[in-house]
Amino acid sequence: MRRDEIPTPALLLDLARFERNLERMAAHVRRAGKHLRPHAKTHKCPEIARRQVAAGALGVACAKLGEAEVMARAGIRGLLITTEIVPPAGLARLVRLLGEAPETLVVVDHPENARELGRAAAAGGVVANVLVDVDVGNRRTGVAPGASTVELAREVAAHRSLRLRGLQGYAGQCAHVVGWEARRAASRAAMASLMETRGLLEAAGLPVEIVAGGSTGTYDIDVELPGLTELQSGSYCVMDLDYRRIGGRSGDALTDFEMALTVVTTVISVPAADRAVVDAGFKSFATDRPFPPEAVERPGIEYGWAGDEHGRLTLRDPDRPVRLGERIEFFPPHCDPTINLYDRVWAVRGSEVEGVWEITARGRSD
């Protein structure tokens, strides 16, 4: 099948760009002496996870248990579930997952959750590998750094069915700081508390074999920290407009990784010379960022939201009209929730379709 025969709207992955992104990140962490456990919440696609592991990743990080279940079933190992699992039914599912993939890491940020996890693991006859999730200023999940973390780490270490492996600290508030120097300053300030806390655990004789964190925005910043052992960056493999605009070490755009992900649309209405309508709206692009999709290599075209299933194009260049039935590709504002709208991604190389990969963990937020 050819790229221009794919029914629209559809999600496309440019394989050449994607492969270069995997190689660049792999070389980067190798040079830095760190590990990579890329976040599969970005793509939810076992085939992408397999290729990340083949490029040297330890495994993949998963935002949710449901995502991890899909990855484990697809044979991916080295999983880290980055969100706390709290409901009793969730803990029971986790115990089953640990039977299949015992090295899976989970996180806790509350002593009550640590006790419930310990009880569930003991009852299921498994040992859960645990990182303490530390709030490094993201104000989402995570226990306060310092003494509170040490106390929770002791609680974890006290359970025979739990094995304390280290810490997780995700500075989500730093990931999209615009400007590399400003982002570096923000991330260093945030991660300092995690590094200090690491020292406290070591001083208390508690194991800190793993310290996980980092984003695509801070992939070349957080590796400067001697105490960080692995990166969780996710978006680097496909990129999006939101990450491109944060800027790189040199330059206003983050170009270290290439824009590999597009949504292909069809022009279905041409009501006026300066206006056209494509077949992709809120159900084809995530809308959580304050800017719209961007037409690929079509500078005269501006996309505007026009409902669930439509985008309204403003045509700024009268010398380049669009015609009915024309196909136009767009870069999505935010990759993760956009990919989560699709059941499959079309892996393309130039004008040819090389594969169709199932986004098997799509919708698995449970």
Chain contacts with its own copies (rule: CB under 8 A): 5, 7-10, 41, 63-64, 66, 83-90, 109-110, 112-113, 135, 139-144, 172, 266-271, 275, 277, 279-280, 282-284, 286-288, 305-310, 312, 324-325, 334, 336-337, 340-343, 362-363, 365-366
Closest CB 342 distance from its own copies, rounded Å: 6
Closest CB 7 distance from its own copies, rounded Å: 4
Closest CB 283 distance from its own copies, rounded Å: 5
> In which residue are the tokens 């801070």 written?
218
Rounded distance between C-alpha atoms, residue 257 and residue 261, angstroms: 11
Rounded distance between C-alpha atoms, residue 176 and residue 215, angstroms: 9
- Complex with its own copies: residue 237 or 286, whichever CB lies closer: 286
Report the sign of the C-alpha dihedral through residues 279, 286, 241, 272, in that order: positive
Closest CB 5 distance from its own copies, rounded Å: 7
- Complex with its own copies: residue 19 or 326, whichever CB lies closer: 326
Per DSSP, helices labelled H in the chain are: 15-32, 46-54, 65-73, 88-100, 111-124, 147-157, 180-203, 241-244, 335-339
- Complex with its own copies: residue 62 or 201, whichever CB lies closer: 62
Copy the structure tokens of residue 83: 């969100």
Closest CB 362 distance from its own copies, rounded Å: 8
CA distance to 7, 44, 263, 336, per residue, from 363 (Å):
22, 9, 19, 11
Copy the structure tokens of residue 237: 């493999």
- Complex with its own copies: residue 21 or 340, whichever CB lies closer: 340
- Complex with its own copies: residue 29 or 345, whichever CB lies closer: 345
